[in-house]
Each structure stands twice: as C-alpha cells, then as structure tokens.
Structure 1
Amino acid sequence: MTLQVHNLVGGYSQIPVLHQVSFEVHPGELVGLIGLNGAGKSTTINHLIGLLHPFSGSIVLNQHDIATDPIGYKQQIAYVPETPILYDELTLREHIALTIKAYQLDHDEAWQRATSLLKKFRLENKLDWFPADFSKGMKQKVMIVCAFITNAQLFIVDEPFYGLDPLAVRDLLDIIEDRKQAGAAVLMSTHVLDTAEKYCDRFVLLSNGRVKFRGTLAEMRQATDDPQASLNDIYLNMAKGEQDG
C-alpha cells in the first residue's frame, strides 16, 4: 500500500474544509483527483505535501505517517504545483543541482535522467537560462523535470496541463506511464477530463470537501446507473446536483 488517507478532516485556521476524506493511491497507478472549484482538491493536496496539518485523521505513505514522521514521509514524495515556483537567482542547471542535493540523489544517475527529460522537453540547450527567460509553459517543464529526476514513491501533480503545448502534454503522460511501470504512484488533480478519462486508473471525486465517488470509471458508471456515461458526463451531473442543492 503506498498512500493511505483515512478520515481526513482539515482546512484553514479552525474552519474545516475537508470532511472525513478517505482514499488510497497504490503503486503503479495514476489516480485522478477531480471536482469543482472549491471542492477541496487544493486543500487536500496542501495536506498531502505538509503545508497544512490535519484536524484529525491520518496520512500515511509506506508506513510513514506525516504527523509523526514528516521527514520520512516527505522524502518519498515529489510535487509539481499548478503554478511554477522557481528561484529567480538560479539557472535551470542550478535548479536541477539543488534538487539532486535536496533528495540526496546519486549525482551521475540523476543527471543522466535529467538529460533525458531535458531533451524530451526541448530544454537541453537552456541549462544556463534563468526563470525570467522562460515562458510559463517552460517553467512548468522545469518543475516537471525537477520532480521526475527523483526516486519518489508518490508523485503529486496539480493541474499539470495548463500552459503546456500538446506535445509537452503527451511527453508528460509518457513520463507518468514510465514511472507507473517502475512502481511509483501518481495522484493528479485536473480539470482536463477527456485526458483524465483516458489515462487515469481510478478517480477520487470531491464535492464540498467530501468524497462523492471513489473508484474506476466503470464503478462510477455503475453508481450513477449510466453505463455509457463519460467522466465529463458524471462531472457535469455532479455540478448540476450541487447547484440544484
């Protein structure tokens, strides 16, 4: 078992946003975290990466509890945020070097992996560029490269497709598939439902801070009594139900 989120209650200050949220992400699978704006996706991710502390419940990754063993937990995760976060004073080369040092990676092996990713994203000739020289999409690619040179057991990817061109989207999905095949787990928050339907193994649908559905697309179709429904159909029906409610 890789990631286990059990009865998570959390939020900001003393106001709960998440209510008894439970789900799992297993090795070798991509789980899509989906829901309307304000459903609790970002709050969930902020708890998973340790920026927020749960009011109650637990978050455990390979038997490392984030509450009691935060270092052991965080050493196993890599995070790609929705908005790229880079250091203005560091070049691309220095961002990669910093990641290698922070994760205590084997230098030669990590740079070999980085070189492959840089070529895939057409950044291999931009190692001495600073963030100010990059477009938003290029900054996003830098974040992806830095995350996927690690040996993380869990990759948390938040809205990764915004700012990426179609070729880069395909390249990212190929990278995720490679890491899945190597046994890593991936949790991806996204509103790009057509892509999620094609590539995600399971889904967690959040609504008002609660898990509304959890499982495969086939299981969600069965739960909604619509064997032909697309993920987009299920999502829109959920949105309509929330508005009518």
Structure 2
Amino acid sequence: MTLQVDNLFSGYRQVPVLKDVNFSIKFGEIVGLIGLNGAGKSTLLKTILGLIEPQQGSVKINGQSIVDNHKDYAQNIAYIPETPILYEELTLKEHIEMTALGYNIPVDVAMQRAEPLLKMFRLDKNLNWFPTHFSKGMKQKVMVVCALITDAKILIIDEPFLGLDPIAIRDFTNLLKERAADGTAILFTTHVLSIADELCDYFLMLRAGVLIGQGNVSELREQFMMPEASLDDIYIAMTEQEEAL
C-alpha cells in the first residue's frame, strides 16, 4: 500500500516545474520533502493533491489515480496547508462538522475524535468562535484538528510548524508519530531540519524541480559523498550546488 509517483512532470502553462520525479511512500512512513524556496515543493504537493494535473507521468494511491476514482482518491488524503484556509462565516465546531461531511464520517464520531485534540491544543473552549477571533497559531491548530479526525491514509503537510508555539510543536510531532504508527503515510515540507531529522524515516531532496537525492541520512551521505555530514550539512551542500549552476 503506497503513494506512488512515477516519471512525473508537472507545472503551470505547460512549463514543467517538476522534471521526471520518481518516488514511493509506504503507509506508516514519515517523509520529509526538503529544498529551497522555488525548488518545486509546493508544485509537487499540489500535484499529489490533484490541484494540478500532471503534464506527464502519474500519481497513484494503491494503484489508483485521481482520474480513476476522484472520490476514493480524495478521501485517502488530508492536507494541512502552510497558510490556514478557514471560512470566516463558520465556527470551529462547524469546520469540524464540514470536514466530517466531506469524508463521510458521522458528525458525532468526528466530534469524539476531535475532543482530545481540542483539549491538547487548548481549543476546547472555543468551539463557537469564528476564525476572525483566532490567532494565526490557533488557525493552524484548527487545520491540524480537521486533518487528524479523518480516516485519510495519506497526510500532506506544507511547513507544519510555522505559527505553532513550542508546546504545540511537541504535541503535533507526537501526533504525527502516532498516526504513522497506525499506518498513515506522511509527507511534509519544512525548513526546520532539526525536527525533520528526528521525525522522518527518510527524505526527498528537491532542487530546481529534480529529485537529486532520496533516502535516510546515511543514504544521503553516500549520494552526496559526505560520509560525516549532518542533514544540515547536506542541505547546505545542495544549496551551494544550486547556486553554482
């Protein structure tokens, strides 16, 4: 059971941002997508989510693409964007209920799942609040809660730690480990390499739309011929290589 990306070319107006990208993520794995701003990370996430149609190649979940079965594909993915996307006219409780409807989860089940998460993130007293009253960090926590109450087997996260306080980062990191242990595949982008190093099973190193390395830190050391390097060292080396192009 995997997320499989094969020979993927994707971008905007027929101009490829991603060029021949290939990788797979098994359920239960946590994968960090690492690269400079403009490397194509968001384009890759949007293509996996079905927001951008591939120009060539394929993205499949358990052998099924979004074209094969849009509903099944979409319900297998939950997304936490870098910038929270909330509806100003809906309360926190209504956001949870809307998420439940989108994933065909009974509302009472969704609220039961949400309850410990709301307490963890100190949102349990804010169910009737509208987003206009939330700080950026609170909005981000709402997105986390809505994603984690679903049955999605793939969790896509863009810069998950932005806007979160240190306690929330710790709690969210632990939640990701728990979800992976339960069989969820997690792909996330981040520039907080210290957390990524501790959290991820392996990494995808993206430079100018091309995967130039993938694997755990030991495998990346071999690929970059840096036997003693840390993840930070490898990232800096990748950056320097890009600047030299």
Instruction: Indicate the TM-score class for this superposition, using the shorter chain for normalisation.
Output: over 0.9
Aligned to 2:179: 179
Q: Determine if contact 2:60/2:66 at 8 Å carries over to the other structure.
A: yes
- Structure 2 equivalent of residue 127 of structure 1: 127
Who is 2:32 aligned against?
Answer: 32
- Indicate the residue corresponding to 2:90 in structure 1: 90
In structure 2, the residue matched to 1:170 is 170
* Alignment match, 1:99: 99
For residues 98-125 of structure 1, the C-alpha deviation after alignment (integer angstroms, 9 at most, x for no partner) is: 1111111133332111001001101000
| Pairs within 5 Å for 1:1-245 | 1-245=1-245
Looking at structure 2, the residues matched to 119 and 62 of structure 1 have their Cα atoms a distance apart, in angstroms, of 34
Equivalent-residue separation in structure 2 for 1:91 and 1:64 (angstroms): 35
Query: Counterparts of 1:227 and 1:106 in 2: how far apart (Å)?
Result: 51
* 1:153-183 deviation line (CA, Å, top 9, x unaligned): 1000110111100111111111111111111
Letter in 1 for 2:197: E
**2 CA distance for matches of 1:67 and 1:213?**
29
TM-score, with structure 1 as normaliser: 0.98
Paired amino acid for 2:13: S
Q: Out of 204-213 and 57-66, give the one that drifted further.
A: 57-66
- Cα deviation, residue 221, structure 1: 1.0
Matches of 1:26 and 1:106, distance apart in 2: 28
Q: Secondary structure at the match of 1:65?
A: coil
Q: For 1:184 and 1:63, how far apart are their aligned partners in 2?
A: 17
**TM superposition shift of 1:85:** 0.3
C-alpha displacement of 1:75: 1.1
What is the count of residue pairs matched by the alignment?
A: 245
Look up the equivalent residue of 2:36 and give its one-letter code.
L
Shift of 1:192: 0.7
CA distance in 2, matches of 1:14, 1:97: 38
TM-superposed deviation, 1:137: 0.5
What SS does the aligned partner of 2:54 have? coil
SS in 2 for 1:64: coil
Deviation at 1:69, TM superposition (A): 2.1
Rounded Cα–Cα distance in structure 2 between residues aligned with 1:106 and 1:88: 23
Residue 71 of structure 1: CA displacement?
Answer: 1.9
User: In structure 1, what is the Cα distance between the partners aligned to 2:2 and 2:126?
Assistant: 35
TM-score (norm 2): 0.98
Q: Which amino acid aligns with 1:61?
A: I
In structure 1, list runs of 5 or more residues that go unmatched: none
What is the alpha-carbon distance in structure 2 between the residues aligned to residue 108 and residue 92 of structure 1?
A: 15
CA distance in 1, matches of 2:115, 2:86: 19
Uncovered stretches (5+) of structure 2, i.e. residues with no partner: none
Query: Any conservation in 1 of the 2:97–2:110 contact (CA below 8 Å)?
Result: no
Identity %: 52
What is the CA distance between 1:5 and its match in structure 2?
A: 0.5
Secondary structure of 2:9's match?
strand
Which residue identity does 2:8 align to in structure 1?
Answer: L
SS at structure 1 position matched to 2:7: strand
Deviation at 1:223, TM superposition (A): 1.6
Which AA in structure 2 matches 1:204? L
In 1, Cα distance between equivalents of 2:106 and 2:39 = 40
